[in-house]
Amino acid sequence: MERNHIIGFVLIFAILMLWSEFFFKPSMVEKANEKRFADSMALVKTVNPVDQIKDVPSVLNSTDTIRTTDSTAQIVVPEKEIYLKNSLAEFTFSNKGGSIKRVKLNNYHKIKVGENHKEEKIDLYLLEDAKNKFDYEISGNQGKIHTSTLNFDVIQNTDTKLTLTAQLPGGGAFTQDYTLSADNYNLNYSIRLEGLNNNNDVVLNWENYLDKLEKNYEYEKFYTSVYYKVKESNSDYCSCRDDDKKEINDKSIEWFSHSNQFFNSSLIPKTGFKQGTFETVMLPENSDDLKLLKSTVAIPFNDLNAKNFEMQFYIGPNEYPRLKAYNNNLQDIIPYGWSIFGTINRYLILPLFLFLKNFFGSMGLIILLMTLIVKLFVFPLAYKMLKSQAKMAALKPEIEKLKSKHKDDAQQQQVETMKMYNEFGVNPLGGCFPLLLQMPIWIALYRFFPATIDFRQASFLWAADLTSYDEFLYLPFSIPFFGNTLSLFAFLWVISTVIFTYYSSKTMDFSANPAMLYMQYLMPFIFWFMFNKTAAGLTCYMFFSNLLNIAQTIVGKNYLFDSDKIRDTLELNKSKPKKKGGFQAKLETMMKEQQRIQQEKAKNKK
């Protein structure tokens, strides 16, 4: 192999490794993030200001206590938890601020990895972090009031209905109503103000420290952000990889969502929020939290003055049918990608998956069936590729004669070979174009598997979770860019790709660029470093796809095409008058020009 080819391979390998590193491990400014995290932690005090109310009511409950200071008397009301529940979830509320304290999802679990890599399923909670804040800022009769500092009284409480009311300092009341839907993760939620006279907006400030819920931390971080939708616009989101802040002024906001990889907490107003600010804050790698999401929205005072401002609160899994049922594009929070790749996922791959899911329970079997169906869908392209390979195989004896005739002149070999291709009407790149046309589907699937909750913790063969890499073997050391585990599906994809390359390249001519032959075998090993940490669902699909490719190539070579008929067709093409121009003619002209330049260089050296 020439020195230039070796240098080219090294540069390509370096670029791919850097891309993989930055794709899965986005850069963060560690010191700035650590300082920001330390500052936020400093705000969490041993005695929360929510626990202290300066206005002492005339009547105290027997469980209340009074704390005195030099200037004021403070009442400390014990925290009480109130519950709403159905078959899917249990919502826990606190009388401190009247907001949601945590939500347990009954049908989903976290994985806790113990000694010897043993996995244990534990309960999964959302909104459980003590640092979270859900606070309405109200302009009261005596100044600013924050509902997170108020103690709420329970007016009504059943398994599915909760009404909380708090008296405001200086007069007035703030009421929150929650109604849990049956067999859903939806809360019908409304707020109401009474006894106030002003025109100032009520501002909701929501800070949400997201927990790490998945084994593949890098994937989860990449797919986590604040999403929102402005009226008469497409949904949008803050950056998933860096600190980001979006401000929406003088536009109605239809909804916003704090979304993990597979779960979300979304607030959907009936009439829209007035304006909003949305922000993602990256946290240090050693943080116990995944990411900090912040949202601030405004509600016009007249929309909740002596009447209910109605909303819906969805806190649950990113299940596409449930989110789509809201009819407001809430399903866009599922990160299937945008442009052509998102379109392929939402309107081709997803409907196919949901259809198969109605009949089969095994996710591995569904992946195999999806592979077969996609292969049938793109078979016209594959047929053209196989036919091009058959033509190349029929011309191989002629090409070998040319190589023997011009064995001492590689440049002349290339020129004569291209001339022969043109005479017989064969496109040497005909086998490559169909593969390139299939690339959008492969890229779309790269986003589909780690974004679809149905594959979460779904096992198949040795893979315990098809949305994360399969940990078939634990290495006693860590390899840069590769990690300390070996994914068997990724390894099988590499081996099957090499086998498929062997079969497909037997009929191809690499005399014009011999380095391409070596590159075909080198590329799978380069991509192995990236796919070793890729969702097992994807590498499983790619492995199945390669097996079908190999079978397709063998069957096509032996049964689909008759070599004698192919040869007769080529001879007929040779006898036909040739059109001037075209890609092959241009390629032949370029090679002749290159040959001329090389000959001139050789003369000058003499």
Kindly report the three-state secondary structure assignment for every residue of 60-96. CCCCCEEEECCCCEEEECCCCEEEEECCCEEEEEECE
CB half-sphere exposure, 370, CA atoms < 13 A: 29
Q: Using DSSP, state whether 435 is helix, strand or coil.
A: helix
Distance CA 192, CA 186 (A): 20
Whether 152 shows a pLDDT value over 80: the answer reads yes
pLDDT at site 74: 47
What is the band of 204 on the pLDDT scale with cuts at 50, 70, 90?
A: very high
Please indicate whether residue 29 or residue 425 has the higher confidence score (pLDDT). 425
Give the pLDDT confidence of 264-273 residue by residue, as tens digits: 999 999 999 9
Asked if 563 contacts 390 with a C-beta cutoff of 8 angstroms, the reply is yes
Could you give the CA distance from residue 363 to residue 346 in angstroms, rounded to a whole number? 18
Q: What is the pLDDT of residue 1?
A: 47
Q: What angle do CA 218, 224, 228 make, to 5 degrees?
A: 165
CA gap 318, 333 in Å, rounded = 8
pLDDT at residue 594, as a whole number: 61
pLDDT band at 68 (very low <50, low <70, confident <90, very high): very low
Q: Compute the distance between CA of residue 466 and CA of residue 450 in angstroms, rounded to an integer.
A: 8
Of 499, 496, 546, 494, the residue nearest 523 (C-alpha):
494
Q: Is 232 left (phi over 0), alpha (psi -120 to 50) or beta?
A: left
> Count of CB atoms within 10 A of residue 494's CB?
21
* pLDDT tens digits along 12-28: 555 545 444 444 444 44
Summarised one tens digit per residue, pLDDT across range 522-579 is 888 888 888 888 888 888 988 998 898 888 877 777 777 766 677 767 767 666 655 5
Average pLDDT, the chain: 79
d(CA 274, CA 230): 10
pLDDT tens digit string along 375-396?
A: 888 777 777 777 777 777 777 7
Q: Is the pLDDT of residue 521 over 90?
A: no
Contact criterion met (CB below 8 Å) for 40 and 131 = yes
The two counts, helices (H) then strands (E), for the chain are: 15, 23
Instruction: Give 65's pLDDT tier (boundaries 50, 70, 90).
Output: very low
538 contacts: CB under 8 Å, gap ≥ 6: 445, 446, 448, 449, 450, 531
pTM to 2 decimals? 0.75
Write out the residue limits of the CATH 2.70.98.90 domain(s) in the chain: 130-334
**130-334 fold:** Beta-galactosidase; Chain A, domain 5 (2.70.98)
Highest mean pLDDT among 200-214, 400-414, 525-539: 200-214
b/e burial code for range 526-543 (CB count within 10 A of at least 16 → b): bbbbbbbbbbbbbbbbbb
| pLDDT tens, residue by residue, 277-292 | 999 999 988 888 999 9
